Chain A
Amino acid sequence: MKRAVPTLIAATVGFVLVIAFFIPATQSWGETAVVWFNILAGVAFILGGGNLVKVQLETISARRKGYGYAIVTLAAFFAMLAFGLLKIGVHPQAQYPLHPWAGPHDAPSSPFGWMYEYIFSPITATMFASLAFYVASAAFRAFRAKNVEAILLLGTAFLVLVGNTAIARITDALPESLAFLRLDSIVANLMTYLSTGAWRAITIGIAIGVAATSLRVLLGIDRPYLGRT
């Protein structure tokens, strides 16, 4: 019973979503299921926040290595939570000028908005920017000509890279009868035929895999949401 009821609920909701995809009159059922998921996710967020605080407090309490980071994490967490939840420093809205809490908590002029804009966003952008260095190091390793496949990969990548630069214009001097040897033409053929064909093969495999996995979950063969796999 403990397993049968959740499995039945999951299967019912899953099949409702599939039916809602084809029968317009049932689309609202699918939307209701999504609303229920959002409610569950909202409640689970409290669990997640609680877990975060617990783990950081344990780290500080035990004076584990790097516990200073835990202090920073907790301070940032509670500061954002307080300013966002209590709407501290929020400006009132035109419709309700006498009620300061009516304003949005994340308006650029509010302290929450300021922290998001001038502390959080730059840190996030920094992390994202570091990706450029990782791309360079990964490319250096991937393009080492170790075997035939790697040499083919390196050659193709070189053609695509050069073909997208101004250097490719040099091959424009080739006569019309040899136009297929122009770099931009080679790059276009590589991208249109070889690359697209490969991506389509992967995409078809993914679509079939998604259908099989969904079917296993809906039929209760795989039940990750119950702990039993």
Chain B
Amino acid sequence: MRAPIVRFALVSCAMLVVGAVRTHAAPPPPVEASAHDLPWDDGTAIEITWRAPESATNIAGYRVYRLLSTEEQKRALRDRRVAAADVAWKAAYESNTSASDRIELATAAATAAAERAGAEGMPDEVAVGTAAANALRYVAAPVESGRAIAFRVRSFDADGNESPAAEAGSAAATIEIFLGTRAWFFPLLIGLCAIIIGCILLARAGRPIKVRRIAGLDAIDEAVGRATEMGRPVLYIAGVQDMDNVQTVAGVTILGRVAKIAAEYDAKIEVPTARSLVMTAARDVVQTAYFEAGRHDAYNPDTIRYITDEQFGYVAYVAGRMVREKPATCIYMGQFYAESLLLSENGNAINAIQIAGTAESSQLPFFVAACDYTLIGEEFFAASAYLAGEPTQLGSLFGQDVSKLIAMVVIVAGVILSTLGGLGLSMPKAASDYLANSILAS
């Protein structure tokens, strides 16, 4: 009776052991791993592909490794030594504050730490990323362009056990002639520019262009006139960014139109700037506006001044200036961040007429809440052309409107395709997917 029990117990133990061994056995490695240059990219990516091993059920994912060259191994070792020395030096330097040979002690500690770090061995590979079990592809980026880099892939199970390596070979990333990810964006941009240029040419040819009225821009005359009547200045803020920002460029351009109106009305205009380049550009623009208005004698460069690059330092100055000088009109045109509400609420407190314009969508609600007029998004970019009133400028505005009309048509088409796709029609679904994922995603 006891023998079968013992046999049963032994068999059970053996099964448990085998089961445990099976649980912790490494999964099989992937097959047909290969590395090759990613096509139509900027030469900074290598694509590694592989196939799943036959009858593999316990694979949780794949881990991709990059083989280090001898030079890279040496560099990594050197970096490790330097980092260890740096930490040891600082610690010794800070702890021996009263010692006269403080620097020597710190140097000795750094040398010892570097030697310890150098004594450790260096691996010949480094993990660059993981892919899901069903991915079978990984894009290693960024990599050095033009240099052959070798990769290997290992599969791993849920416990983290890794398979033996599957060598993927080496590949070099090459720079292509055109970025494939932006293939659709290029014709879209060319089309948009062609529409705008076409409309400018139509306007130049004498075709009458009608644009809708923008209340905020129509109010500029009134606002500057009010400042003249009250004998108070017009405060103009061209945002807090530099001249490499398109919103600042638009803000400075609008400044020229406002300055011309101010010159004609004999109103004082003040332009505190947060960037030196903006100050120089604003001075040129305002000076030209005064010349065009025939009031070059009234131009005073000291009213256009640089304050500081620091966001809140700039706000402190402008808010203080508002409270002390009480400008009759405050105009904000450019890129704004948290300062939008700080400035416009101060302007509101002194009962100034306030006109704002920005393309920074997160700040638009604040301007809408605190200002009398707000130019929203594209109205802000249209302002300069609108105020100029020249046929060429109005032509570009008309081009903007035509482009918006085309965008609306595309949106309606996308909605129809997507709705039909949702009803189970395969062609419209494929078309809407292509529109969303390939054309618009570029």
CB pair A227–B284 under 8 Å, yes or no, is: yes
Residues of B within 8 A of A95 (CB): 82, 86
Q: How far is the CB of B344 from chain A (nearest CB, A)?
A: 8
Q: Which of B68-76, B211-219, B385-393 contacts A (4 or more CB under 8 A)?
A: B385-393
> B406 — nearest CB in chain A belongs to which residue?
A208
Q: Which of A132-140, A165-173, A175-183 contacts B (4 or more CB under 8 A)?
A: A132-140
CB pair A135–B396 under 8 Å, yes or no, is: no
For the complex, give the distance between the alpha carbons of A131 and B277 in Å: 28
Query: Is A158 on the interface with B (CB-CB < 8 A)?
Result: no
Query: Is B160 on the interface with A (CB-CB < 8 A)?
Result: no
> A17 — nearest CB in chain B belongs to which residue?
B244
Q: Which of A82-90, A184-192, A210-218 contacts B (4 or more CB under 8 A)?
A: A210-218
Q: How far is the CB of B185 from chain A (nearest CB, A)?
A: 8
For the complex, give the distance between the alpha carbons of A209 and B359 in Å: 9
Interface of B is mostly: helix
CB pair A44–B276 under 8 Å, yes or no, is: yes
Q: How far is the CB of B262 from chain A (nearest CB, A)?
A: 14
Question: Scoring B residues 129 to 140 as 1 if CB is less than 8 Å from chain A, else 0, what string do you get?
Answer: 000000000000
> B257 — nearest CB in chain A belongs to which residue?
A229
For the complex, give the distance between the alpha carbons of A51 and B306 in Å: 6
Q: How far is the CB of B247 from chain A (nearest CB, A)?
A: 8
Q: How far is the CB of B341 from chain A (nearest CB, A)?
A: 5
Q: How many residues of B contact A (CB 8 A)?
A: 93
Residues of A within 8 A of B404 (CB): 204-205, 208
Interface of A is mostly: helix
Interface centre among A49, A52, A92, A209 (most CB of B within 10 A): A209
> A109 — nearest CB in chain B belongs to which residue?
B94
CB pair B86–A94 under 8 Å, yes or no, is: yes
Query: Is B62 on the interface with A (CB-CB < 8 A)?
Result: no
Quick one: which of B200, B249, B306, B361 contacts A202, CB cutoff 8 A? Answer: B361
Known: A135-B341, A138-B345, A229-B289. Contact between A202 and B364, CB under 8 A?
yes
Quick one: which of A204, A221, A227 contacts B288, CB cutoff 8 A? Answer: A227
For the complex, give the distance between the alpha carbons of A7 and B384 in Å: 18
Query: Is A194 on the interface with B (CB-CB < 8 A)?
Result: no
Residues of A within 8 A of B388 (CB): 229
Q: How far is the CB of A22 from chain B (nearest CB, A)?
A: 6
Known: A23-B177, A98-B103, A142-B369. Contact between A202 and B376, CB under 8 A?
yes
Known: A25-B177, A202-B377. Contact between A48 and B279, CB under 8 A?
yes
Residues of B within 8 A of A221 (CB): 200, 392-393, 396
CB pair B341–A134 under 8 Å, yes or no, is: yes
> B176 — nearest CB in chain A belongs to which residue?
A24
CB pair B368–A212 under 8 Å, yes or no, is: no
CB pair B306–A212 under 8 Å, yes or no, is: no
Residues of A within 8 A of B377 (CB): 202-203, 205-206, 209
Query: Is B336 on the interface with A (CB-CB < 8 A)?
Result: no
Query: Is A199 on the interface with B (CB-CB < 8 A)?
Result: yes
For the complex, give the distance between the alpha carbons of A210 and B193 in Å: 11
> A92 — nearest CB in chain B belongs to which residue?
B103
CB pair A206–B106 under 8 Å, yes or no, is: no
Q: Which of B313-344 contact A (CB under 8 A)?
A: 313, 315-316, 320, 324, 338, 341-342, 344
Query: Is A81 on the interface with B (CB-CB < 8 A)?
Result: no
Quick one: which of A41, A55, A214 contacts B302, CB cutoff 8 A? Answer: A55
Quick one: which of A94, A139, A208, A216 contacts B403, CB cutoff 8 A? Answer: A208
CB pair A229–B400 under 8 Å, yes or no, is: no
Query: Is B42 on the interface with A (CB-CB < 8 A)?
Result: yes
Question: Scoring B residues 399 to 433 as 1 if CB is less than 8 Å from chain A, else 0, what string do you get?
Answer: 11001100100000000000000000000000000
CB pair B277–A44 under 8 Å, yes or no, is: yes
CB pair A21–B182 under 8 Å, yes or no, is: yes
Known: A94-B110, A97-B89, A222-B253. Contact between A203 and B192, CB under 8 A?
no
Quick one: which of A40, A130, A206 contacts B381, CB cutoff 8 A? Answer: A206
> A21 — nearest CB in chain B belongs to which residue?
B182
Q: Which of B158-196 contact A (CB under 8 A)?
A: 175-179, 182, 185-186, 189, 192-193, 196
In the assembled complex, 5 residue pairs joining A and B whose CB atoms fall closer than 8 Å, in A order, are A52-B308, A66-B324, A94-B85, A124-B311, A227-B285
Known: A208-B403, A211-B189, A227-B287. 8 other contacts (CB 8 A): A22-B182, A94-B106, A127-B316, A130-B342, A202-B364, A212-B382, A212-B397, A224-B256
Interface residues of A (CB under 8 A from B): 18, 21-25, 27, 34, 37, 40-41, 44-49, 51-52, 55, 58, 65-66, 69, 91-92, 94-95, 97-98, 123-124, 127-128, 130-131, 134-135, 137-139, 141-142, 199, 202-206, 208-217, 219, 221-222, 224-229
Interface residues of B (CB under 8 A from A): 41-43, 82, 85-86, 89-90, 93, 103, 106-107, 110, 175-179, 182, 185-186, 189, 192-193, 196-197, 200, 242-244, 246, 249-250, 252-253, 256-257, 275-277, 279-281, 284-285, 287-289, 302, 305-308, 310-313, 315-316, 320, 324, 338, 341-342, 344-345, 348, 359, 361, 364, 366, 368-370, 376-382, 384-385, 388, 392-393, 396-397, 399-400, 403-404, 407
